[in-house]
């Protein structure tokens, strides 16, 4: 390999940059030479707002299915919200966390509260999340098979929520889950854990393409989550998925409204197809 060959990190950052730019346009036979190499990037925040307004994860799944993408965009079914009623949708900010091959030193009583600070001084954080935080984002944390480690807990997840983060998705563990549930912090995880970060995992990269729950997630892809699970909508097909999912959702609400009437059930917001049809009228 020559000295000019890119490192793995450079490759990951280049992949993320391509996703953020909207992807390269295909240079097929007969393509016009004056066509831009970078496709215009859809507004992921505006799209996420429309996805999250009235669409369920199942509606979006059906939209992905129509485009042949569902099996490649559904996160592992074990990744679930920690509490019933949690719903969020937003552009992804990704974190690549890996198991460490180092150990934490034994600490004294005096240093017991400095374990995270000591781990940072030892180089356990190779990247920073804070510069990427924006209102409405969803943090996607890939843990690469790390053993039990409660990367997200009642303190840092509440901190993220206070800064406008719409949700957190991880294929790893969450801890302090009694408080996360009580505080209604929007955390979806694979399992519950008990341990802290130092001596277990290292944060390697932020905002690079990652694998989470068996699927690729890139910065700016749209993440949706509700009680049925979590999924990713690749940004380059998000507009088509939204249009299809909106039509499916309105049709479902209309059909269930008829069934509500048949069984004498009082209508609720889940069968308010008129409002949904009005909101998505440009797509129907």
Distances in Å between the alpha carbon of 54 and those of 89, 197, 282?
A: 11, 37, 15
Does residue 260 contact residue 67 with C-beta atoms inside 8 Å?
A: no
Query: What backbone phi and psi angles, to 5 degrees, belong to 214?
Result: 90, 5
Q: What is the pLDDT of residue 7?
A: 59
Q: What is the pLDDT of residue 26?
A: 37
Q: What is the pLDDT of residue 14?
A: 56
For the four alpha carbons of 54, 59, 60 and 66, in that order, the dihedral sign comes to negative
Q: Which candidate, 94, 75, 90, places its Cα nearest to that of 45?
A: 90
* pLDDT, mean of residues 42-49: 96
* pLDDT, mean of residues 59-84: 97
Separation between Cα atoms, residue 272 and residue 162, nearest integer Å: 32
Give the three-state DSSP class for 214: coil
6 pLDDT band, cuts 50/70/90, is low
Query: What backbone phi and psi angles, to 5 degrees, belong to 238?
Result: -60, -40
| Tokens, residue 199 | 């001596």
Q: What is the pLDDT of residue 241?
A: 98
Place of tokens 């800064």: 163
Q: What is the pLDDT of residue 22?
A: 47
% of the chain beyond a pLDDT of 70: 86
Angle between helices 57-66 and 238-263 (to 10 degrees): 130
pLDDT exceeds cutoff 70 at 51: yes
Stated pTM of the model:
0.86
- Per-residue pLDDT tens for 109-148? 999 999 999 999 999 999 999 999 999 999 999 999 999 9
Strands (E) located in 164-278: 167-170, 173-174, 187-189, 191-192, 201-206, 210-212, 215-217, 222-226, 229-233
| Tokens, residue 185 | 């912090």
| Tokens, residue 257 | 């409204």
């Amino acid at each position: 390999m020559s000295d000019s060959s890119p490192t793995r990190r450079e490759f990951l950052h280049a992949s993320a940059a391509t996703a953020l730019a909207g992807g390269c346009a295909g240079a097929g036979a007969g393509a016009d030479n004056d066509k831009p190499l970078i496709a215009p990037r859809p507004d992921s925040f505006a799209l996420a707002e429309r996805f999250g307004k009235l669409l369920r994860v199942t509606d979006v799944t059906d939209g992905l299915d129509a485009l042949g993408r569902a099996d490649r965009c559904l996160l592992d079914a074990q990744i679930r919200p920690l509490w019933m009623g949690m719903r969020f949708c937003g552009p992804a900010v990704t974190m690549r966390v890996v198991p460490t091959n180092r150990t934490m030193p034994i600490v004294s009583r005096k240093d017991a509260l400095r374990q995270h600070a000591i781990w940072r001084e030892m180089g356990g954080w190779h990247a920073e999340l804070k510069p990427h935080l924006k209102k409405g984002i969803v943090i996607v944390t890939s843990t690469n098979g790390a053993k039990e480690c409660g990367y997200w807990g009642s303190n840092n997840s509440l901190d993220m929520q206070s800064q406008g983060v719409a949700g957190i998705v991880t294929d790893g563990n969450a801890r302090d889950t009694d408080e996360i549930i009580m505080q209604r912090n929007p955390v979806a995880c694979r399992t519950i854990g008990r341990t802290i970060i130092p001596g277990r995992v290292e944060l390697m990269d932020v905002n690079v393409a990652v694998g989470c729950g068996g699927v690729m997630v890139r910065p700016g892809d749209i993440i949706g989550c509700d009680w049925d699970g979590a999924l990713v909508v690749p940004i380059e097909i998000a507009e088509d998925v939204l249009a299809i999912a909106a039509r499916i959702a309105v049709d479902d609400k209309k059909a269930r409204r008829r069934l509500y009437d048949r069984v004498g059930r009082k209508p609720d917001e889940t069968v308010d197809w008129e409002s949904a049809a009005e909101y998505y009228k440009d797509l129907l």
